[in-house]
Amino acid sequence: MATAYEQPASIPGLDGAAADGDPVEQSVAYFRDGLYCSEAILRAFNESHRLGLDPSAYTIATPFGAGMGAAKCSCGAVTGGLLVLGLARGRTGTDQSEEPAFTVAKELHDRFRARYKVICCRGLTRRLPWGEPEHHQACQEYVRFAAAAVRDLLSDGPAWRDSTGAAGPGTDSDDAGLPDCLVCPVTQAPSGGREPAEAPARTDHDHGRVAVTTSDGMPPAR
């Protein structure tokens, strides 16, 4: 059975405060204070950039935490960033263009993936004990990087891309270059009559093979 993701205890009143209202460090501070990555980034940028989202609507970010409800799919730092970009660049009707939002959304995805090789929570935390301090420390790095990219994209500054391509603290270097869904054993299981995606032949992991799953659809603990 999949175990629930546990954030460090804190939250009441959200004590985290970043110097000079920097949304990047504020995002990290909120994450340390107990918010999920997606919640932390949305709240920090709504405050710093006055995006107009009523605080009661912060709840929209909660399901994206821990890779979509602890499914370990798309990283909450990325999806939280997308929520921010949508508020700032999204459209409210079909008479408006989606291009401004699509452009910055793809850029955020591309920057994060260029830096860490994958954007899925499962891949980013593959080598880390889930819920332990090492895990939270790694996620702070992911929050900081995603928030910095969002801040840059909102500033309309010069294009920037991290070309170092270093693996994240919890990623598996063997995953480099593989599409995210090919490094996720969950997506290799047949679903809805669709064939599992093909992946390069591997011998060290279960990539590219149909995963054995438990009754809740998650791969068994290893």
Q: What pLDDT, in 10s, does the model give residues 17-38?
A: 544 589 999 999 999 999 999 9
- Amino acid 175: pLDDT: 56
The reply to whether 139 and 95 lie within a common domain is yes
- Predicted local distance difference test score (pLDDT) of residue 157: 40
Share of the chain above pLDDT 70, in %: 61
d(C-alpha 103, C-alpha 88), whole Å: 12
117 and 204 in a common domain: no
Specify if 3 maps to a domain: no
User: Alpha-carbon distance 65 to 36, whole Å?
Assistant: 5
- Domain hosting 82: range is 19-173
Q: How many domains does the chain have?
A: 2
One domain for residues 86 and 156:
yes
Q: Is a pLDDT exceeding 70 seen at residue 193?
A: no
Cβ within 8 Å of residue 206, ≥6 positions away: 185, 188, 219
As a whole number, the mean pLDDT across the chain is 77
- Does any domain span residue 4? no
Give the pLDDT score at 61: 98
Tell whether 63 is covered by a domain: yes
Q: Is 129 a domain residue?
A: yes
Confidence of residue 182 (pLDDT cuts 50, 70, 90): low
The answer on pLDDT for 186 being more than 80 is no
Q: Are residues 79 and 124 in the same domain?
A: yes
**Within a domain: residue 9?**
no
Contact 160, 152 (CB under 8 A): yes
Cα 205 from chain centre: 23
Cβ atoms of 145 and 28 closer than 8 Å: no
pLDDT band at 165 (very low <50, low <70, confident <90, very high): low
Average pLDDT of the residues in 47-75: 97
Is residue 14 in some structural domain?
no
Residues 161 and 75 in one domain: yes
Co-location of 78 and 106 in the same domain: yes
Give the per-residue pLDDT at 222.
36
* Alpha-carbon distances of 47 from 41, 50, 163, rounded to whole Å: 10, 5, 30
Amino acid at 176: A
Least confident of 2-16, 33-47, 78-92, 162-176: 2-16
Collect all residues with Cβ–Cβ distance below 8 Å to 44 and sequence separation of at least 6: 18, 23, 24, 26, 27, 29, 30, 147
- 145 and 58 together in one domain: yes
Instruction: Examine residue 7 and state whether it is found in any structural domain, yes or no.
Output: no
Are residue 165 and residue 185 in the same domain, yes or no?
A: no
Higher pLDDT, 133 or 217: 133
Q: 88 and 47, same structural domain? A: yes
Mean pLDDT of 80-109: 97
Flag whether 218 is in a domain: yes
137, 106: one domain: yes
Do 53 and 162 belong together in one domain? yes
Per-position b or e across 84-98, b if 16+ CB within 10 A of its CB: bbebbbbeeeeeeee
- Structure letter (DSSP) for residue 180: G
Q: Residue 15 has which token pair?
A: 């004590």
Report yes or no: 122 and 186 within 8 Å, Cβ to Cβ.
yes
96 and 126 in a common domain:
yes
Q: Which of 120, 167, 168, 122 is nearest to 142 (CA)?
A: 168
**Which pLDDT value is given to residue 21?**
80
Mean pLDDT of the region 80-108: 97
State the pTM of this model. 0.70
